[in-house]
């Protein structure tokens, strides 16, 4: 009597279903309730990247999608493993990033008994996912995995979680993987309405002072955006999430809008008579006080998610659909816009309010970031953490390519930058990655230096170390009577260079511009992990700034005011 064929388990079925979705890379950590899947992984073709924390695994999977357009995947165990994913899921949800998270859970008979490492992951993650599942039957695995990828990657992308009890992972599986996704309640609108497109074209054609605002939804439609701009000659503003969807250095670019946006972009919003909002959600950091936002503008809002239309800014002409479909059809309805007078005004603002920073200290963050940009020559992926360095990078280390500036926009997650760099490095292995971080942010996921070292990823980690939580300090200085409450870090920061070396990563402490320039050039040329701890001026501030509750027209110009240059050496950045 011959040996019987080993029976497939639910765990093996999960991996087979993932392979059928084209998954080749997963970021995660094993644990008790997901051990059957990790056991099956031992025989799988799927590459697993062992991270050091589940939050970091989620950020890496998130960035894998943002850098490549391919859905990211993360694994975690039950209880704390799954709850550690929550920040990563919320970050992906806010920034419309496609990832599928698979968590193990305690066996079905133990659910609801407060078993070891049990948590209601389905309930906990419901508000921070586009959709989630609790798998009760092993035969449902192929269908649920297929649906999860369909939901995550179509319409407005977002995270989907699949929670699988341990007994379902261990159960024998005999079903089929040939499944058809049929979700009657989920039909994203891709094709824009012809009548609305004609209405939009009429409004745009009649405008004298139009602008196009491009958001993160345009990262997958960069060619269509550029073609539309070339056809019409319209000026373009790119939000933080839209950086790279239209070349920042192009003549029609006005830069980033909002709280720390450029003077040119914010003044254009205030004085325009029409806005095309393309794949953005008009969040509060972009609009400032809503009643003062673009007071004279007709708003044409194009978005694949109908829930975003008129949610915050009233859309006079709503167009629901994919930019890939809508923008070419809209361009076909239009001739080049006759807006020469408007461009004269815009060019005057662009010329008067170029990026400036003072160089009266041994080293400042803007200078470090400018050196990184110049040394990289535009051929790298940039990830950032959250804080002053993020805003400096958004204006000084921009990219002309889509999917190449990766940051946490909506949730503003400190600790995002380093694991995001790991995900981006695996998504685009032939490209260097630069992390711009701060001494506060980097310590929130610094354990991932171990992952960087293990895989010898070509990641340069540049810490703009001002010894404080810089953005909080700036607000305390400007709006809280200089009461610097609990922002000082310098008295207990580690020696970051030595810490990097403890992980096996080359590290350098940098204190002045000459050594910074050389260290940055060497680091980027090395094509290996390098950490640069750049000690910068403590009291830096990011300007322009729109105070909380103020309008876009109420910017504080600060050091970006060309008429306020007392005793300052200045560098004008093109």
Quick one: tokens of 47? 């590459």
Taking the CA atoms of 397, 398, 402 and 408 in sequence, report the sign of the dihedral they define. Answer: positive
Residues 6-35 as b or e (16 or more Cβ within 10 Å = b):
eebbbbbbbbbbbeebebebbbbbbbebbb
Q: What is the DSSP letter of 17?
A: H
Quick one: tokens of 381? 């992926």
Residues involved in catalysis: 54, 116-117, 166, 471
Q: What is the CA radius of gyration of the chain?
A: 25
C-beta of residue 571 within 8 angstroms of C-beta of residue 359 = yes
* Rounded-to-integer distance, Cα 392 and Cα 372, Å: 12
Q: What is the DSSP letter of 446?
A: G
Q: ∠10-14-19 over CA atoms, to 5°? A: 145
Give the CA distances from residue 560 to residues 361, 407, 570, in Å, rounded to whole numbers and listed in that order: 17, 24, 11
- Nearest Cα neighbor of 315 from 368, 354, 276 is 276
Q: What is the DSSP letter of 3?
A: P
Q: Is the peptide bond before 544 cis (omega within 30 degrees of 0)?
A: yes
* Rounded-to-integer distance, Cα 401 and Cα 417, Å: 19
C-beta of residue 435 within 8 angstroms of C-beta of residue 448 = no
User: Strands, DSSP E only, in 375-445?
Assistant: 381-384, 405-406, 433-438
Residue that is written with structure tokens 């806010």 in the block: 94
Give the CA distances from residue 429 to residues 128, 425, 455, 527, 556, in Å, rounded to whole numbers and listed in that order: 30, 5, 11, 11, 41
Contacts of 502 (CB under 8 A, 6+ apart): none
């Amino acid at each position: 009597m011959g040996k019987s064929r080993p029976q497939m388990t639910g765990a093996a079925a999960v991996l087979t279903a993932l392979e059928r979705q084209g998954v080749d890379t997963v970021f995660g950590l094993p644990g008790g309730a997901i051990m059957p899947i990790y056991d099956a992984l031992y025989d799988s073709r799927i590459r697993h990247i062992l991270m050091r924390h589940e939050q970091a695994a989620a950020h890496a999977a998130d960035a894998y999608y943002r850098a490549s357009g391919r859905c990211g995947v993360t694994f975690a165990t039950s209880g704390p493993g799954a709850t550690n994913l929550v920040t990563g899921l919320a970050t992906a949800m806010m920034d419309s990033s496609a990832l599928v998270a698979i968590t193990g859970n305690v066996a079905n008979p133990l659910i609801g008994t407060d078993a070891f490492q049990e948590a209601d992951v389905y309930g906990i993650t419901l508000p921070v996912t586009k959709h989630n599942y609790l798998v009760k039957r092993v035969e449902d695995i192929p269908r649920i995995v297929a649906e999860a990828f369909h939901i995550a990657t179509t319409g407005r992308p977002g995270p989907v979680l699949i929670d699988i009890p341990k007994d379902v992972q261990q159960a024998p599986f005999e079903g089929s993987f040939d499944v058809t996704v049929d979700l009657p309640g989920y039909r994203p609108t891709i094709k824009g309405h012809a009548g609305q497109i004609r209405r939009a074209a009429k409004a745009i054609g009649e405008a004298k002072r139009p602008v196009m605002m491009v958001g993160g939804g345009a990262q997958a439609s960069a060619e269509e955006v550029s073609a539309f701009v070339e056809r019409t000659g319209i000026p373009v503003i790119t939000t933080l999430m839209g950086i790279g969807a239209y070349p920042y250095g192009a003549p029609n670019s006005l830069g980033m809008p909002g709280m720390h946006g450029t003077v040119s972009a914010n003044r254009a919003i205030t004085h325009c008579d029409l806005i095309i909002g393309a794949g953005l959600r008009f969040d509060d950091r972009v609009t400032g006080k809503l009643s003062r936002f673009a007071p004279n503008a007709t708003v044409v809002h194009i978005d694949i998610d109908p829930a975003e239309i008129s949610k915050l800014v009233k859309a006079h002409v709503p167009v629901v659909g994919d930019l890939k479909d809508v923008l070419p059809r809209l361009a076909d309805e239009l001739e080049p816009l006759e807006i020469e007078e408007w461009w004269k005004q815009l060019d005057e603002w662009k010329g008067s309010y170029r990026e400036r920073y003072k160089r009266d200290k041994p080293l400042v963050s803007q200078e470090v970031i400018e050196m990184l940009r110049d040394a990289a020559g535009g051929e790298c992926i940039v990830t950032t953490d959250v804080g002053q360095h993020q805003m400096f990078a958004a204006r000084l280390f921009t990219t002309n390519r889509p999917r190449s500036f990766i940051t946490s926009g909506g949730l503003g997650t400190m600790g995002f930058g380093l694991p995001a760099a790991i995900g981006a490095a695996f998504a685009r292995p032939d490209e260097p990655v630069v992390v711009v971080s701060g001494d506060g942010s980097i310590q929130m996921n610094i354990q991932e230096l171990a992952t960087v070292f293990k895989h010898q990823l070509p990641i340069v980690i540049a810490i703009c170390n001002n010894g404080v939580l810089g953005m909080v300090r700036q607000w305390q200085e400007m709006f809280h009577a200089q009461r610097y409450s609990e922002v000082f870090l310098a008295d207990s920061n580690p020696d970051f260079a030595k810490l990097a070396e403890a992980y096996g990563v080359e590290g350098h402490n940098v204190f002045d511009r000459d050594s910074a320039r050389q260290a940055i050039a060497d680091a980027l040329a090395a094509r290996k992990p390098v950490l640069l701890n750049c000690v910068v001026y403590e009291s830096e501030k990011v300007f322009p700034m729109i105070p909380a509750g103020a309008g876009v027209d109420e910017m504080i110009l600060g050091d970006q005011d060309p008429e306020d240059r007392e005793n300052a050496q200045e560098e004008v950045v093109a």
